[in-house]
């Protein structure tokens, strides 16, 4: 028996919503502001999307274009790339 209904149209989105609610709950317990929680969750989703694009072997310029088309802001993307590159060095 599976935990999820296979008829769910977008399973990844549903999982993302569940994960976001869990993070929000935990951060609220630790006293983070709504803005801090929103920023943390948004950053987490951006990094997840970058990981997904890397997994399918997209080049950086392709990833940038896809992320912009998906509605991410250039500043957010640049910051995420900087953060990722600093962790790799």
**What is the number of domains present in the chain?**
1
CB 27 within 8 A of CB 37: yes
Residue from 63, 56, 51, 26 nearest 41 by CA: 26
pTM of the model: 0.72
Please indicate, yes or no, if residue 53 is contained in any of the structural domains.
yes
Determine the Cα–Cα distance for residues 22 and 53; give it in Å rounded to an integer.
24
Tell me, yes or no, whether 10 lies in a domain: no
Within a domain: 62: yes
Does residue 74 form part of some domain? yes
pLDDT per position as a tens digit, 21-33:
999 999 999 999 9
48 neighbors 67 (Cβ within 8 angstroms): no
Mean pLDDT by 10 residues, the chain (89 residues): 56 84 94 94 91 86 92 93 81
pLDDT in the model for residue 7: 58
Q: If DSSP codes are grouped into helix, strand and coil, which group holds residue 75?
A: helix
């Amino acid at each position: 028996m599976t935990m999820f209904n296979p008829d769910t149209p977008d399973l990844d989105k549903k999982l993302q919503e569940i994960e976001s609610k869990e993070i929000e709950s935990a951060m609220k317990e630790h006293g983070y502001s709504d803005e801090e929680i929103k920023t943390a969750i948004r950053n987490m989703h951006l990094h997840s999307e970058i990981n997904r694009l890397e997994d399918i072997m997209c080049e950086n310029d392709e990833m940038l274009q896809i992320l912009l088309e998906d509605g991410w802001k250039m500043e957010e993307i640049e910051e995420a790339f900087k953060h990722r590159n600093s962790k790799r060095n």
